[in-house]
A = this chain, B = another copy of it.
Amino acid sequence: MVTSIATVSLSGGLTEKLQACAKAGFDGVEVMDADLTVAYESPEEIRALCHRLGLKIDMLQPLRDAEGVDEATFADNLRRAREKFRTMNRLGTDLLLVCSNAGTATVDDDAVVTSQLGQLADAAAEFGVRIAYEALAWGRFVNDYRHAWRLVEAADRPNLGTCLDSFHILSRGHDPAGIEEIDGEKIFFLQLADAPQLEMDLLSWSRHHRLFPGEGAFDLTGFLKHVLRAGYRGPLSLEVFNDTFRQTDVYRTAAHAQRALIWLADQAGAEEHSRHGKLPAGQPPQGFDFVEIAGADLSEVDQLMNQLGFTFRGRHRRKPVRLWSLGEARIILNEQRKRETPQLAALGLEVAHSGRAADRAQSLGAAPVFRNTSTGEFDLRGVAAPDGTEIFWNGHGEPIRWIGEFEGGMEPGEQHGGIDHVNLSYPWQHFDEAVLFATSALGLEPAASAEVPGPLGLVRSQVMHTADRKVRVPLNLAPPTAPVPPRHVALQCADIITTAARARSRGLRFLPVPDNYYDDLTARLPLDPDFVSTLKELDLLYDRDGAGDFIHFYTPTIGEFFFEIVERRGDYAGYGAPNAPVRLAAQRALTATQSR
């Protein structure tokens, strides 16, 4: 089983798209006719480039509004088609997608359509071309895959088959089980697209909002299983019209697309037919191993951790790297990289089988990262996430062997603490990519998403977590015109009042909370005035749900990073979302002040 993608799913010019598809590991492409039309390269050049890149041109697409028309129109449509057959011969592809007539169909008569499809196939045969006929969801008279298949069957030509597109079938709520009744040999092509459940007209939904598999509301795994049971063994191809993917970097989006397809094939059990083989089993993390902050000068972060009560655990024996811990939370400061600005650069996760986790991520297209290790040092395996953040895996429950490489530090006492959650931020256009990577490669699951009003627009927030919520990674997506917000690590402590008071006595000034916040809090919730006074004095924020309470504060931002300190009381399950607007406004106000 091979992978393919329609060029319309990607940004850039045709040759850039082809280069990116090859680099991402696709076996083939569907060339969108419109992409060829605007390219300076001739069909022969495109053919030769694809040959060099090892890409098969699986199909040219689409020919529209060909059938179900009066005789004069059909004669001209045959002329149109022959011109495209000539182009296909030059391009070196033998399959043409014909979509059911959505515009000019005048005849609601299966006999006419059957006859015209047959004539089209016969004309195609003269050029060695095959036709894949597809029911568009908004086709005028043919808009059900079962109807398209009946017409193909009736026309009965060896070079005429059907093309199935998950969007056109699932968007109309048609039962995909009927696919199993189609002769697998006559399914000439398979196009896969997911989509969110939206209430809008089919055409707009299809042309703007399709997603890669696993990112929407469709059951693509079930869909693909039906297609496999029918006996289809052709390419799994993505045709994803999406306003965002049309804009994002073509190499990155192609890798994202391939990841989605490999994931889907694995879910559907198509791996036995696939050159990619079975994916190693997913490894949901069982805890955070460490977080790494990288930057040219991290002395401010050292000071911050000192103020927060972290224990200094030593310097790496060979590298400009330091380790701090607070209970179970381990923070590595890495000054090896010459990045200007302190930032959250790597994440260590504890899993049952670290090797399998790394193998799985690499099978999903993530590049392994090089780690500067020497003899006797522990070699953690890791990969770069699509945005460059490094992910490392370590065995859960084993002694953390890499700690032995740090020297000259102190032993931690019986310190309570741990990483509550790690908040990663991205530009808006990387939302689906980030979620899919977290799902497929990191073994996290999406919780409900929310929108947080900030001074520069709505920030989209998507929590990713494990089923047991031991590992929680909220993703924040900045609105298009706003800078990407800083990332942060939230640390659990047993007694936030004490922790906050101690940090303050050590000179730490938290993110200041407006007095108005406490007036509003007092109005919203019937709290003990003394308790509110304590919160106000220490710049602490408060939230509660039915199960418990949440008290937290934020440190100042250093570079593109800050800490949050949280205390969860009872079974509070959230992240203090009602307080996020306060943080966003305060951080911006302070940035504006500092930049004056």
Chain B's closest residue to A200 (CB) is B199
Q: Is there a chain B Cβ closer than 8 Å to A537's Cβ?
A: no
Q: How far is the CA of A479 from the CA of B519 in the complex (A)?
A: 42
Q: A37-B582, A76-B526, A581-B34 are in contact. Are A42 and B515 (CB under 8 A)?
A: yes
Residues of chain B lying within 8 A (CB to CB) of residue A457: 11, 243, 246-247
A247 CB to closest chain B CB (Å) equals 4
The digit string for A205-240, where 1 denotes a CB below 8 A from any CB of B, is 000100000000000000000000000000000000
Does A456 touch B at the CB level, under 8 Å? yes
A586 at the A/B interface (Cβ < 8 Å)? Answer: yes
A516–B34 CB distance below 8 A: no
Is A13 at the interface (CB under 8 A from chain B)?
A: yes
Answer yes or no: A12 CB below 8 A from chain B CBs.
yes
Interface residues on A, range: 35 or more
Contact A13 B585 (CB under 8 A): yes
A467 proximal to B (CB < 8 A): no
Expressed in whole angstroms, the Cα–Cα distance for A516 and B201 within the complex equals 33
Docked-complex contact B482 and A247, CB < 8 angstroms: yes
A80-B523, A246-B457, A455-B12 are known contacts. Are A37 and B589 too (CB-CB below 8 A)? no
**Measured between C-beta atoms, what is the minimum distance from A60 to chain B in Å?**
12
Interfacial chain B residues near A429, Cβ < 8 Å:
480-481
Q: Which residue of B lies closest to A517 (CB)?
A: B37
Partner of A13, one of B43, B201, B455: B455
Indicate if the CB atoms of B83 and A519 lie closer than 8 Å. Answer: yes
Contacts of A157 in B (CB 8 A): none
Instruction: Give complex CA distance A456, B248 in Å.
Output: 8
Q: A520 near B: Cβ within 8 Å?
A: yes
Task: Find residues 508-522 in chain A having any chain B CB closer than 8 Å to their own CB.
Answer: 512, 514-517, 519-520, 522
B246 near A453: Cβ-Cβ < 8 Å: yes
Kindly list chain B residues whose C-beta atoms are within 8 Å of the C-beta of A246.
453, 456-458, 479
Provide the bound-state CA to CA distance between A526 and B246, in Å.
32
- Return chain B residues, CB-CB under 8 Å to A370: none
Whole-angstrom distance between the alpha carbons of A445 and B98 in the complex?
Answer: 39
| A410-437 interface code vs B (CB 8 A; 1 in, 0 out) | 0000000000000000001100000000
> Does A40 lie at the interface of the complex (its beta carbon under 8 Å from any beta carbon of B)?
yes
A524 at the interface (CB under 8 A from B): yes
Asked if A33 CB lies within 8 Å of chain B CBs, one says: yes
- Asked if A79 is at the interface (CB within 8 A of a chain B CB), the reply is yes
- Do A479 and B42 touch (CB < 8 A)? no
A429-B481, A455-B11 known; A516+B582 contact, CB < 8 A: no
Indicate which residue in B40, B199, B520 contacts A33 across the interface (CB closer than 8 Å). Answer: B520
Interface string of A480-492 (1 = CB under 8 A from B): 1110000000000
Contact in complex: A523, B84 (CB < 8 Å): yes
In the complex, whether A588 has a CB less than 8 A from a CB of chain B is yes
Q: Does A36 contact B (CB under 8 A)?
A: yes
- A87 at interface by CB-CB < 8 Å: yes
Of the residues B43, B79, B523, contact of A516 by C-beta under 8 Å = B43
Q: Closest B residue to A586 by CB, please name it.
A: B38
Is A501's beta carbon under 8 Å from chain B? no
Residue of B with least CB distance to A81: B523
A524: contacting residue among B80, B455, B519, CB under 8 A:
B80
Across the A-B interface, the 6 shortest Cβ-Cβ residue pairs: A83-B523, A38-B585, A247-B457, A480-B480, A37-B520, A247-B481
Inter-chain pairs besides A37-B516, A38-B455, A429-B480, 20 sampled, C-beta below 8 Å: A13-B455, A37-B514, A37-B582, A38-B581, A40-B512, A40-B514, A40-B516, A40-B586, A76-B526, A80-B523, A87-B519, A199-B200, A208-B458, A243-B457, A243-B458, A247-B481, A247-B482, A248-B481, A480-B480, A480-B481
**Between-chain CB contacts (< 8 Å), 19 pairs:** A12-B455, A34-B453, A36-B516, A37-B582, A38-B516, A38-B517, A39-B514, A40-B512, A83-B519, A83-B523, A198-B200, A200-B200, A243-B457, A246-B479, A247-B479, A247-B480, A247-B481, A247-B482, A480-B480
